[in-house]
Amino acid sequence: MNRFDHRRILVTGAASGIGQATALRLLCEGGHVVAADISEEGLATTRSLAEEAAAADRLHTLVLDIGDENSVISGLRQAIDTLGGLDVLVNAAGILRGAHTHETSLELWNRIITVNLTGTFLVTRQALPTLLAGGRGVVVNFSSTSTAFAHPYMAAYAASKGGIQSFTHTLALEYAKQGLRAVSVAPGSVKSGITDTTASYLPSDTDWSLFSKMSPLLATDQEAGSAPMAGPESVAGVIAMLASDDGAFITGTEIRIDGGTHA
């Protein structure tokens, strides 16, 4: 079943992790996808994986810095021109950096907010006119389990993701009459580019006991460090549902995907 035949899709953060898995899933369901990311090398990997799946003919890649307004304006123009329109936007790009809150510099705080929250806003703002023109546009944003459950050393990250969640609710209400749906996914205990590098961004004196309640109830088949994780495909499948007509009555909410970590 190709739920995305003739659907035009932009996925940010598509050079690795969940963004990459999402781009590949939507390609394999018939979508025409622009995979965008700041990493040109990672995008080359995405293309190689699409070639292995015999879906590369519908994939376009785009080097994009979502934290830079000029890059977003020119990149979105290029993506929309390449696709001939836009039906689905998946804002998967983001960064995580950790620090004791009392040692978090304003520079670090602003960097995380700029990429995660402002970047999501900038891409969405530029995409909205084209998404609305089709009458059934979909925006899928990336929140996090950190918005509702304490994740130590991640105050700026949690604040940015909480902002994205609130932003998504506003989009859903403001544009519902024009056919737009807006939903957030909140992954947790899912292997991604962020989880693979989290330990390197945490303080040297990290108290690992603070993470003791952050293990999934369901069985997993992967790890990040020694933490049990599900594969990024577990989120990509949910996004495929939300962005397709199977999710046609879902908007203005968030879906937590964490294997019961925060049950």
* Residues belonging to the active site: 157
Q: Which amino acid is at 60?
A: H
Classify residue 143 by burial, with Cβ atoms within 10 Å: 0-12, 13-18, 19+.
buried
Q: Per the structure block, which two tokens stand in for 82?
A: 């390449």
For residue 77, give Cα distances in angstroms to 3, 37, 62, 189. 25, 15, 11, 35
DSSP string for 185-217: EEE-SB--HHHHHHHHHS-TT--GGGGTT---S
How would you classify the pairing of strands 222-224 and 32-37?
A: unpaired
Distance CA 29, CA 31 (A): 6
Of 13, 43, 210, 244, nearest to 137 by C-alpha is 244
Q: How many CB atoms lie within 10 A of CB 223?
A: 12
Q: How many CB atoms lie within 10 A of CB 219?
A: 8
Instruction: For residue 221, give the DSSP letter.
Output: S
